[in-house]
Amino acid sequence: MQSSLAVFQAEWCPYSRKVRQKLTELGVSFVAMPVPADPADREEMRRKVGTDEIPAVLFDDGSVLKGDADEIVATLGAMFNERSDAEEHRRRAGQHPADGVR
């Protein structure tokens, strides 16, 4: 099952990072939709996914995964099979601190 999806996210958000990492492990392509830092300025996001909280995943059929990042990750894991190199992706991600980018 391959879908087109968009992830409403911010690079500084550790919960968004978890979702992006899982999608990488699953080999699922996605479009990163950067959102304004202030939730009050996220009107487009609210219209599209029904929340201003990140992360949120929007599928091409209009379905949305939102809420707790661990629940989003678990749902994605149930929907898609991991890549053969998923463990290597996890290992390499663990070598780089989340706040290492400036």
pTM higher than 0.85, yes or no? yes
pLDDT mean by block of 10 residues, the chain; 102 residues: 82 97 97 97 97 97 97 98 94 76 44
Q: Which long-range contacts (CB under 8 A, 24 or more apart) does 11-16 make?
A: 11/101, 12/37, 13/54, 13/55, 14/98, 15/54, 15/55, 15/69, 16/54, 16/55, 16/69
Please tell me the predicted confidence (pLDDT) of residue 95. Answer: 86
Spatial separation of the C-alpha atoms in residues 68 and 19, rounded to whole Å: 10
Compute, in degrees rounded to 10, the torsion defined by CA atoms 26, 13, 67, 29: -30
